[in-house]
Amino acid sequence: MTKPFINDEQLQNLKQLLQSKDSTNQQLALSLLQGFELPLCFLNELRSRYPMVCLAYGFYRPFEGIRKISLHIHNHAFPAALGSFENTQLEALELDMKDRFFYLNEDPIPPIWHFTSLKQLMIKGNWSVHSLSSSIGQLHQLESLDVIDFGCNMHTMPEEICYLTRLKHLSFQDCRLEQLPLKIGRLKNLETLNLRGNWCLEWLPKHIRYLQKLKVLDLRGTGIRSVSGIESVVKYLPNTEILIHPLDVPQYA
């Protein structure tokens, strides 16, 4: 059934409801908007201002071919909508969760693992997150993964990341990692590895020597205090640039 096209007066009235601070008025406006065919310029504006709301109310459907989404998640009511959003062409997803509130038994990271076409994924953290789901191993097309500022609870990265063999860029910055997966050497195409700010990380596994394409290894702000902590890199990856503070490892300076 074809929806009627919204006229200017109707659109302005619903915009006023949407922009009010009353959540009941906002929900009413969104429900009414669902009954109309909306102009693309307004859909673009709606998607830009209220990305999570658009997912929850289905306003992303006209954009099923969209390739990049950036979301600032601050409301516990809408992230679940990501789980019902299908897009086989989505290549880049950025989630900013620093203001995200979630319940004790709730998975803090929204359901995004069905976006198997993703090539780039960035998740900016929330200090209450303890780990990434093992389901990240489903994202076989990933070439770039950034996990940033997960505070003091994420002690290790999931081993499933080691099977994402297309990865060229991997960053776990400011996540309080204590160790890396022993199978990290499987990432044969990895070119940059950013471990900056993980001050509990004191050594690197010997299997890191199998990262023969690694160009840059950022260890600034880690707990590595001697050359022995980076021995495999120094010995087996002579062409890899190691970024580390000279006061931390004076022997390497």
Over range 188-198, report the average pLDDT. Answer: 97
pLDDT reported for residue 62 = 46
pTM of the prediction? 0.76
Helix, strand, coil distribution of the chain in percent, nearest 5: 30, 15, 55
pLDDT reported for residue 2 = 80
* pLDDT(220) > 90: yes
* pLDDT(164) > 90: yes
More confident residue, 60 or 133: 133
Q: Which two tokens stand for residue 27?
A: 């929900």
pLDDT reported for residue 247 = 73
* pLDDT(178) > 80: yes
pLDDT reported for residue 185 = 96
Are 225 and 250 in contact by the 8 Å Cβ rule? The answer is no
Over range 40-50, report the average pLDDT. Answer: 81
pLDDT reported for residue 104 = 44
Stretch among 53-62, 72-81, 169-178, 209-218 having the lowest mean pLDDT: 72-81
Over range 99-106, report the average pLDDT. Answer: 51
Residue type, 249: V
Structural domains in the chain?
119-243 (3.80.10.10)
Each residue's pLDDT tens digit, 62-94: 446 678 877 776 654 455 666 667 778 889 988
pLDDT reported for residue 163 = 96
Give CA–CA dist 137/221, Å, rounded.
Answer: 28
pLDDT reported for residue 190 = 98
The DSSP symbol for 3 reads P
* pLDDT(8) > 50: yes
* Best CA proximity match to 127, nearest among 83, 97, 158: 97
Over range 151-161, report the average pLDDT. Answer: 83
* pLDDT(9) > 50: yes
Identity of the highest mean pLDDT range in 42-46, 62-66, 103-107, 219-223: 219-223
Over range 205-221, report the average pLDDT. Answer: 95
Over range 50-72, report the average pLDDT. Answer: 68
Cβ neighbour number for residue 170 with a 10 Å cutoff: 24
